[in-house]
Structure 1
Amino acid sequence: MLENGFLVDGKYKILDVIGRGGMSIVYLAINEKANRSWAVKELIRTDPRAAGISKKETDLLKKLHHPGIAGIVDVIEQKESQLIVMDYVEGHSLDQVLEEQGVCSEREVLDIGIQLCEVLEYLHTRKPPVIYRDLKPSNVMKKPDGKLVLIDFGAAREYRRYSDGDTVLLGTRGYAAPEQYESQGQTDARTDIYSLGVMLFELVTGESPHRLCPVRKIRPELSAGLESILEICTQTDPAERFSSCAELKYALEHSWEMDERYQKRQKRKLAGFFTPVAASICLGIGGIVFSGLETQASRNTYEAYLTAAGNAAVKEEELGNYEKAICLRPGEKDAYLQLLKHGFLDDELLTVEESMRLRGILTEQTASGESFESVFSKNKEGYAAFCYEAGVTYYYKYEETENKKQAQSYFRLAAQSGCLTGAHLVRAEKLSLIAGYYTRIGLVDAAGDDLVDYKQYWEDLVEVSAGNIVMTDNERTAVVVYEELIGQVLFHGESFLEAGARADMIREQLAQVRTHLQQDFTGKDLGGADAFSEIKDRLIQQMEEAEYLLAALEERQGE
């Protein structure tokens, strides 16, 4: 422990202890020459649970500049401890706020969640992404103006997309996501989403994070929307959480929408309880006639909603009519496809908000409690057509360009349906195969072995790149496949060689891609001649970089 008055590194004078944790002590310090206050966190090396920050991570964190982050400015190594010097933030930590003021209102906890989503989204979108990994009330300061600041980056790590896993498993029990205590895999943005969900649960209920439950069991006056959001955040399986803080922020900003869906669902369940009683009476009088009239009326109304959507002058009115049609006949494809193609993709981009809305519709429930997607999937051809279009949308047009997991899932369902033929089947199979690797790269099994066989990965890339893709599918798919092959050589060339792929065979494949670019696209439209010329020049430049990389790797192997 540092004494008051102790001078750290000749410039930071210790004034007082301002915080204590299980593995650290935080001091208030001052640089008297600059007349500026700093927070100094001391990590004790003798504590086996303590983990420091490497110079590489320090350099990374020094580059972070956001009003919601207390930046790290220095890391000082001592014999028995490591000192992390960071911005001093005036205010109270959220655990102090909870202790002094009691539980937060729903409005307050929504604001806290939205602010922290903005900070975390900034971290997660760095190049490379930064995962905070230790979100809890004591690590969030509330300034006098109500703004929030993250103050402790001792557990933060750069996200290594292709690494075997985190080098150190950190996090506070209760707040830490389950994957932080597993030997395989690594933490990612969804890890921070879990911790944020737990923290918001504690702030709005006052209960221990070890006692997670639906928040309305503790505070019935809270909305179903907030309850639903927190349950999604704290799913054990990361794949079932929000995929990004942008999605979570949208949900928090529109929690009333989720609440309305819940209320509608409850009304349908209530209607589902009374309907059989009324139906039994009606059937005794003239069920066959009424059934026929009801079916025709439903069909007419369904078509009317689609027509109204197509004629709508306001976007929300258009989307609302598509949703009404889906609610009326959740097993039919037309409303889903038109919602996707005309409702969401009128600007050729699927936003995070639109993706959330689509997911909300698919998980909506009928009066019997069955999800709309479950009902829809019984229509094999219709569901296959939707999955194919959704796969194309998420692969080509989703604004989160690095997230291909949804595309892989939809393409796989479409390819396995037995309903696709020709170019559509070829595209679904090829892009499902490519996107599938994104879900496994960087993960290891229980034995510590990489889940991706890089030799097989290379062979799959060669297979999907074979032949004249422009002829068998289309020019857009060809460009995507060629971009993928070249990009993976740049990213994983060394792994391919180490796994047994030969450098001369990789060069030959790159040469074939060059030939396809020069010969197969004649007369094809990729946004005009100038646009395609730009695409081709970019791919050829990347191929030259890949060939240079291969030469360097061969030279290194020969040393």
Structure 2
Amino acid sequence: MEHPCTVCPNCFQPLGDEGVCGHCGFEANGYVTLPHHLAPGARIKQRYQVGRVLGEGGFGITYAGWDTVLDVKVAIKEFYMAGYVNRNHEASPNVFATLGAHRDTFNKNKEKFLSEARVLARFYEEPGIVGVRDFCEENGTAYIIMDFLDGVTLKEYLEAHGPLPPAEAIRLLLPVIRSLQHVHAGGVIHRDISPDNIMVLADGRTKLLDFGAAREVSQTDIKSLSVILKPGYAPEEQYRSKGRQGPWTDVYALAATLYRCITGEAPDDAMERMYRDRLPAPADTAAACPAAISRVVMKALAVRQPDRYQDIPAFLQ
């Protein structure tokens, strides 16, 4: 690839003098790199060139990237725990963890991020999951190199299309559900499934994203809790320090996502439902949902873990 200043941080094609990409229309001149982001042009493993930020959450920053060996666009996920680490890219690309317990928490979760990447790399051929190509430690943190997906999130898809017929909602989510079954068998639980984390590609395929985010954070740290949990999609055990999480945790989030697809609304927050459960079944809403599908969704959405399907095969069945 060219020198970083001469290529577009979005599509990595040569930039013209005016700073607007003639290939994709991205306004490179107007792109502002925040101090804690890697600057466009930075390299990971001397191989992957960093471009613009695609998204950012409590556990990571995702960049557009370019594999300079294979000449393909990739996505680069950087492990970056907001509130636990800091960086100023003008001084250094390195991430610095604050001292003491924060550093221990960061290091523990960084290891988890890498171990989940190793597992996901084994599932590269799974149709319902974003493909992990490579991973490494660098700059005091860790990186996962993934296939670049061209599409919209399921959240954006639903905002554009409105509630979906139940058969279409199930068709969209089936590849994700089936692939997740294989990942669970490999010992990894996602713990953060929601319409934000499912991509609908231009050809209609769906893929689950964001496995890399480590989730074992001190449950007493409210700031980290608010980062991890998406109200409506997280079951009650994720709110408790001693809550047992397992495949049933992802079953709840999948059912909540299906509920959102069919009814147009996210389910009520699990802790609210613990106190007083007023969640209407899909068949009792304006959605034309067959009673059989409605029953399956509601059983998977049971507030108490033992009342749910305990794993994906039971849910699929």
Question: TM-score with structure 1 length normalisation?
Answer: 0.40
- Could you list the runs of 5+ residues in structure 1 that have no partner in the other structure? 158-165, 251-559
In structure 2, the CA distance between the partners of 1:61 and 1:220, relative to structure 1 (3 Å rule), is: closer
Residue 464 of structure 1 is matched in structure 2 by none
Does 2:252 match 1:194? Answer: yes
Which aligned pairs between 1:225-304 and structure 2 lie closer than 5 A? 225-250=292-317
What is the letter of the counterpart of residue 64 of structure 1? F
Letter aligned with residue 106 of structure 1: P
Q: How many aligned positions are there?
A: 239
Which whole-Å deviations, capped at 9, do the CAs of 1:326-363 have from their partners, x for residues lacking one? xxxxxxxxxxxxxxxxxxxxxxxxxxxxxxxxxxxxxx
Does the CA-based 8 Å contact 1:45-1:82 persist in structure 2?
no
The offset of 1:59, in angstroms, is 2.8
Distance in 2 (alpha carbons) for counterparts of 1:213 and 1:83:
42
CA distance in 2, matches of 1:137, 1:124: 20
Query: Deviation string for 1:55-106 (max 9, x for gaps)?
Result: 4443333222312222332143424x54332222222221111122222221
The structure-2 alpha-carbon separation of the partners of 1:249 and 1:46, relative to structure 1 and needing over 3 Å to count, comes to: closer
Q: Distance in 2 between matches of 1:76 and 1:180?
A: 29
* Residues 1:39 and 1:220: Cα distance change in structure 2 (over 3 Å): closer
* Alpha-carbon separation, structure 2, partners of 1:56 and 1:178: 26
Where does residue 68 of structure 1 map in the other structure?
A: 128
Matching residue of 1:116: 176
Match of 1:52 in 2: 110
More helix by share: 1
Q: After superposition, give the CA deviation of every residue in 1:256-281 in whole Å (9 maximum; x if it has no partner).
A: xxxxxxxxxxxxxxxxxxxxxxxxxx
Q: CA deviation at 1:217?
A: 3.9
Name the CA distance, whole Å, in 1 between partners of 2:160 and 2:142.
Answer: 32
The corresponding residue for 2:264 is 206
User: Percent identity at matched positions?
Assistant: 28
Question: What amino acid sits opposite 2:145 in the alignment?
Answer: V
Change (3 A) 1:112 1:174: same
Whether contact under 8 Å (2:48, 2:66) holds in the other structure is yes
Deviation at residue 115 of structure 1 after TM alignment = 2.4
Structure 1 residue 46: Cα displacement: 4.3
Task: Give the superposition deviation at 1:22.
Answer: 4.3
Per the alignment, do residues 209 and 29 of structure 1 end up closer, same or farther by CA in structure 2, a change over 3 Å counting?
farther
Corresponding residue for 1:183?
Answer: 241
Distance 2:118 2:143 in 1: 15
Q: How does 1:283-432 map to 2 (within 5 A)?
A: none
**Structure 1 SS opposite 2:268:** helix
Sort the Cα spacing of 1:34 and 1:113 in 2 relative to 1 into closer, same or farther, 3 A: closer
Contact 1:91–1:141 (Cα < 8 Å) also in 2: yes
Q: Say which SS state the counterpart of residue 110 (structure 2) adopts.
A: coil
Distance in 2 (CA, whole Å) between partners of 1:156 and 1:240 is: 27
Which of residues 39, 47, 53 is equivalent to 2:75?
A: 39
The aligned amino acid for 2:253 is S
Residues 1:21 and 1:185: Cα distance change in structure 2 (over 3 Å): closer
Give 1:215-226 correspondences, 5 Å limit.
215-226=282-293
Q: Which has the larger radius of gyration?
A: 1
Contact 2:184 2:247 in 1 (8 A): yes
Q: Deviations over 1:488-540 (max 9, x none)?
A: xxxxxxxxxxxxxxxxxxxxxxxxxxxxxxxxxxxxxxxxxxxxxxxxxxxxx
Give, in angstroms, the shift of residue 197 of structure 1. 0.8
Partner of 1:93: 153
RMSD: 2.6
Aligned residue in 1 for 2:139: 78
| 1:5 to partner: Cα distance | 2.3
Task: Report SS of the residue matched to 1:131.
Answer: coil
Runs of 4+ in 1 over 6 A off after TM superposition: none
Deviation at 1:39, TM superposition (A): 0.9
Instruction: Tell me, yes or no, if the aligned pair for 2:59 and 2:82 is still in contact at 8 Å.
Output: no
Map of 1:328 onto structure 2: none
Q: How far is 1:2 from its partner?
A: 2.0
SS at match of 1:230: helix
1:145 partner SS: coil
What is the 5 A alignment of 1:117-196?
Answer: 117-126=177-186, 129-155=187-213, 170-196=228-254
**1:134–1:156 Cα contact (<8 Å) kept:** no
The letter for the 1-side match of 2:118 is D
- Structure 2 unaligned regions, length at least 5: 1-36, 85-104, 220-227, 270-278
Kindly tell me: are residues 53 and 118 of structure 1, through their superposed partners in 2, closer, same or farther at Cα, counting changes over 3 Å? same
**Counterparts of 2:257 and 2:236 in 1: how far apart (Å)?**
15
Quote the residue 1:105 is aligned against. 165
Equivalent pair of 1:117/1:246 in contact (CA under 8 Å): no
Inter-partner Cα distance in structure 1 for 2:268 and 2:76? 30
Q: Which amino acid aligns with 1:26?
A: T
Residues 144-201 of structure 1 show CA distances to partners (whole Å, capped at 9, x for unaligned) of: 33222112112468xxxxxxxx676644333122112222253111111000011111
In the alignment, the residues of structure 2 paired with residue 235 and residue 109 of structure 1 have an alpha-carbon distance, to the nearest angstrom, of: 20
Rounded to whole Å, the distance in 2 between the matches of 1:134 and 1:6 is 29
Residue 135 of structure 1, CA deviation: 0.6
Contact 2:263 2:287 in 1 (8 A): no
Q: Distance in 1 between matches of 2:62 and 2:260?
A: 24
Equivalent residue, structure 2, for 1:255 = none
CA shift at 1:208, angstroms?
3.3
Q: CA deviation at 1:37?
A: 1.7
CA distance in 2, matches of 1:248, 1:205: 19
Could you say which residue in structure 2 is the equivalent of 1:305? none
Structure 1 position 125, deviation (Å): 1.8
Residues in 2 aligned to 1:15 and 1:118: alpha-carbon distance in whole angstroms: 33
User: Does the CA-based 8 Å contact 1:194-1:234 persist in structure 2?
Assistant: yes
Q: CA deviation at 1:222?
A: 1.9
Q: Which has the higher contact order (CA 8 A, sep 6+)?
A: 2
- Structure 1 match to 2:101: none
